[in-house]
Structure 1
Amino acid sequence: MPATRLAHNVFFKLKDSTPANVQALVDACHKYLNVQPGIVFFAAGPCCRELDRPVNDRDWDVGLHLVFDTKASHDAYQDDATHNKFIEENKPTWAGVRVFDSYV
């Protein structure tokens, strides 16, 4: 059986969700979170406010989407110095963070 990929989706709610602050967090994701080994897909961007159906959860500002080649790569990412630097620099701006992990 081939190795199962792991999708790691993180949704950040900012304390102050001005367009500049949203863009700063998207930029930080691009700077720090797409360099770790084992990433096969990376994307980060703002919530699509134009989609406002009853099923759309819009209680967040920035979405981070990563797919890792294996769970082991994901686990190493969690302890990576660059990932920790991202958290250290940006955590004070967060009102909340939700993480959704799934095998894909």
Structure 2
Amino acid sequence: MFSHIVIFWTDPGQPGAVEELVAGAEQYLRPIPGILHFHVGRMVPSERPVVEQSYQVGLNVVFADKAAHDAYQVHPLHVEFVEKVFKRVCTRVVVYDFA
């Protein structure tokens, strides 16, 4: 199993950026072959100080292995998401990959 976690910070100067990012992930990323589990959503506020809360959107994608993840990264829908959505509405991203 290979987990790909992406944390997004959206541009506060763009109203609707969070909704657009979530919708774009659903449209462009969810249909990519090789995904075993797909979940995108907004940050959930917490009173626990250990919980990171400065980001706006999180993405959790699980693949069978690294090869499936690598194919996802170069898939035309992923490239289109990066160009049409991510680059326009995000100011920062952090990725956690683990197997």
Q: TM-score, normalised by structure 2?
A: 0.92
- 2:11–2:17 CA contact under 8 A, matched in 1: no
2:65 and 2:13 map into 1 onto residues whose CA distance is: 33
Distance 1:6 1:59, change over 3 A: same
- The reply to whether residue 41 of structure 1 matches residue 37 of structure 2 is yes
Q: Hey, what does 1:57 align to over in structure 2?
A: 52
Q: Say which one has the larger Rg.
A: 1
Residue 27 of structure 1 corresponds to 23
Amino acid at match of 2:11: K
Distance in 2, Cα, partners of 1:35 & 1:17: 29
- Report how many aligned residue pairs link the two structures: 98
Q: Which runs of 4+ in 1 moved over 6 A?
A: none
Deviations 1:51-76 (A, max 9, x none): 13110011211101100011100000
* Partner SS state of residue 54, structure 1: coil
What is the aligned-residue identity percentage?
A: 37
- Check if 1:16 corresponds to 2:22: no
Q: Which structure 2 segments of 5+ residues have no match? A: none
Q: Which runs of 5+ in 1 are unaligned?
A: none
Q: Supply the RMSD in Å over aligned alpha carbons.
A: 1.5
1:22 positional shift: 0.9
2:82 equivalent to 1:87: yes
**TM-score normalised to structure 1 length:** 0.87
Q: Distance in 2 between matches of 1:15 and 1:27?
A: 16
